[in-house]
Amino acid sequence: MKTAIIIHGSYEGFEEEYFDPNISSPSNNHWFPWIQKQLLLKGILAQTPEMPEPYKPDYEKWKWMFEQFEINEETILVGHSCGAGFLVRWLSENNIKVNKVVLVAPWIDPEKKSGKFFKFDIDPNLVLKTAGLIVMYSTDDNSTVIESVNTLKSNLKGAVFQEFTGKRHFTLRSMKTEKFPELLENLVS
């Protein structure tokens, strides 16, 4: 059975926002509910797990949560921001074949401010562990995301890079919509 796991980003530095009862949880924010529903309608069981303490991400805790799901050749993986960086690390460190992988506005902490979360080497053959890897980014995103994309470009052989303008960090605020048809097309085509 084809499944999808969609990993949100971190709220590092936004602890107040995370604990605000009037703001949706990270796994239910931006385009996450919309893409999950679209995949469900196409017969793909999609999950959007809430990663532990996203305001102070800990790789081992995130890894534990992620590995609660069965991950195999039928599993589609989507990561946004720090969630995309998490997937790059997890795939680099594990010898598991998965279905498509889409990294949206990937962040791998090029300034190395997040401690041990991103202390790893990118597997240059990571794309071979997938049925295809696509990196979606916007030219007007913040400089650390653009730097992360450039790092991925120089380290991931065979990945497809899709450049956008005007999407910034692919959040509800910057996209002005919860719909993300370009991502859906990448996942189901």
Domains in the chain: ranges and CATH: 3-188 (3.40.50.1820)
Between CA 177 and CA 152 the distance in angstroms is 27
Between CA 37 and CA 159 the distance in angstroms is 26
Radius of gyration of the chain (CA): 15
What pLDDT score was predicted for residue 16? 83
What pLDDT score was predicted for residue 43? 97
What pLDDT score was predicted for residue 11? 76
What pLDDT score was predicted for residue 13? 67
CB 31 within 8 A of CB 170: yes
CA 42 to chain centre: 21
Which residues does the chain have with pLDDT short of 70?
12-13, 110-111, 113-114
| 7 membership: H or E segment, kind and range | strand 3-7
- pLDDT, tens digit (0-9, with 9 covering 90-100), for 140-182: 999 999 999 999 999 999 999 999 999 999 998 899 999 999 9
Between CA 64 and CA 59 the distance in angstroms is 9
What pLDDT score was predicted for residue 176? 93
Question: Whole-structure pTM over 0.85, yes or no?
Answer: yes
Closest residue by Cα to residue 116 from 145, 93, 97 = 93
What pLDDT score was predicted for residue 14? 74
What pLDDT score was predicted for residue 15? 82
What pLDDT score was predicted for residue 111? 65
| 58 membership: H or E segment, kind and range | none
What pLDDT score was predicted for residue 28? 87
What pLDDT score was predicted for residue 23? 86
Between CA 3 and CA 66 the distance in angstroms is 13
Between CA 155 and CA 125 the distance in angstroms is 9
